[in-house]
């Protein structure tokens, strides 16, 4: 492929979606479109409504397998959470036979499932926070056993829906008598819930642009009790310090584990890796395969601080997507 100025691409940006992160996705999508335009591409947004309908310029779209999407050279699915970041839309794009940015069906599905991801990562020997996965069925069958098992993690613990992002539905539980209520609240969002032990130290994140580029780690600093939705999306709710205030050896460990986890989970294109760092102890928390994507989002800030400005990030991701699609088109099935 030539440079973007010489041969700009036609890019469809998918934004919105059915999840609780609909509005966050619209912000990400608008920023991606603007970044693509700045990089010399042509870009338009297809909005996925809360009703699940795909619309271009307000008109519903009909999708035909094998026929691409509005003639796009590549699709940038700036979608967060269920029905967008979990392999569902990636499967649609595979059926349409169009190049798209980011991880494929399997890696997207694995990484959005906090329980499944932790089980997978444990087989690689990557250190992580202790946890329990709790299904709504298991809790209904034997709540006392579930509560006893979760309490074995110690207190406080964090109770989270397994498939949601942006800290939606999370509760910090400081006493055993609060645990059942937190689980019931989380089950309103998801049939699978994760209970995580409290991790000390600093919250550190780094951006991966695959498969080899890992940003300088940054540290999330916030005044709230934990890094909740308000801290993430309220102006001034958090501060990103780059570089993170960790030792040189911990920094190298973060970068190495981010790269290893990205590859081990089968991610492609991009991800944000989140860690807890306490002295020399580095624990992986999760991989986010489509993090918030405005120029002021953590991923973009980390890449900017590491020498890659926003337009170059979105341009590179589109190039990687095209290369993957062209490479796989040569395979025989």
- Among 17, 81, 102, 292, the active-site one is 292
Question: Which residues are registered as beta bridge partners of 241?
Answer: 219
- Among 108, 288, 297, 306, the active-site one is 288
Residue that the structure tokens 């642009």 belong to: 209
Strands, E, within the chain: which ranges?
Answer: 10-16, 42-48, 54-56, 59-60, 74-77, 131-135, 157-161, 171-173, 192-197, 202-209, 213-214, 218-222, 238-241, 270-278, 281-288
CA-closest candidate to residue 290, choices 211, 219, 209:
209
Is 272 designated active site?
A: yes
- Among 166, 215, 297, 306, the active-site one is 166
Is 288 designated active site?
A: yes
Peptide bond into 243 cis (omega under 30): yes
Is 249 designated active site?
A: no
- Among 113, 274, 285, 297, the active-site one is 274
DSSP structural state of residue 300: H
- Among 18, 286, 306, 315, the active-site one is 286
The helix or strand, by DSSP H or E, that contains position 138, with its residue range, turns out to be helix 136-141
Angle between the N-to-C axes of helices 179-187 and 143-151, in degrees from 0 to 180, rounded to the nearest 10: 110
Is 286 designated active site?
A: yes
Is 30 designated active site?
A: no
Query: What SS3 class is residue 134?
Result: strand
Query: How long, in residues, is the chain?
Result: 333
Is 21 designated active site?
A: yes
Which residues lie below 8 Å from residue 247, measured CB to CB, with a gap of 6+? Answer: 279, 280
Angle between the N-to-C axes of helices 22-38 and 310-328, in degrees from 0 to 180, rounded to the nearest 10: 90
Give the angle subtended at the CA of 312 by the CAs of 251 and 261, to the nearest 5°: 35
- Among 233, 263, 319, 324, the active-site one is 233
Catalytic residue annotation: 21, 166, 233, 272, 274, 286, 288, 292
């Amino acid at each position: 492929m030539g440079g973007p100025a010489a041969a700009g691409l036609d890019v469809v940006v998918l934004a919105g979606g059915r999840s609780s992160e609909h509005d966050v996705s619209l912000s990400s999508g608008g920023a991606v479109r603007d970044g693509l335009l700045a990089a010399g591409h042509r870009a338009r947004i297809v909005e996925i409504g809360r009703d699940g309908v795909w619309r271009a310029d307000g008109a519903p779209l009909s999708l035909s397998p094998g026929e691409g999407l509005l003639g796009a050279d590549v699709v940038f699915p700036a979608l967060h959470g269920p029905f967008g970041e979990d392999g569902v839309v990636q499967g649609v794009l595979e059926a349409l036979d169009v190049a798209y940015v980011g991880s494929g069906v399997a890696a997207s599905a694995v990484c959005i499932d906090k329980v499944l991801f932790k089980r997978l990562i444990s087989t690689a020997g990557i250190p992580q926070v202790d946890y329990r996965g709790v299904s709504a069925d298991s809790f209904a069958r034997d709540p006392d056993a579930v509560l006893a098992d979760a309490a074995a993690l110690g207190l406080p613990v964090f109770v989270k829906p397994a498939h949601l992002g942006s800290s939606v539905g999370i509760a910090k539980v400081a006493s055993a008598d609060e645990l059942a209520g937190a689980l019931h609240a989380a089950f309103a969002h998801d049939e699978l819930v994760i209970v995580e032990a409290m991790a000390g130290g600093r919250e550190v994140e780094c951006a991966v642009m695959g498969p080899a580029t890992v940003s300088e780690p940054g540290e999330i600093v916030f005044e709230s009790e934990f890094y909740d939705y308000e801290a993430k999306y309220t102006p001034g709710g958090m501060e990103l310090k780059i570089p993170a205030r960790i030792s040189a050896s911990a920094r190298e460990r973060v970068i190495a584990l981010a790269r290893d986890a990205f590859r081990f989970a089968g991610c492609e294109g991009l991800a944000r890796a989140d860690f807890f760092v306490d002295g020399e102890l580095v624990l992986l928390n999760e991989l986010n395969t489509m993090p918030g994507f405005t120029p002021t989002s953590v991923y973009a800030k980390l890449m900017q601080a590491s020498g890659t400005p926003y337009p170059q990030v979105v341009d590179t991701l589109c190039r990687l997507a095209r290369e993957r699609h062209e490479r796989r088109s040569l395979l025989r099935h």
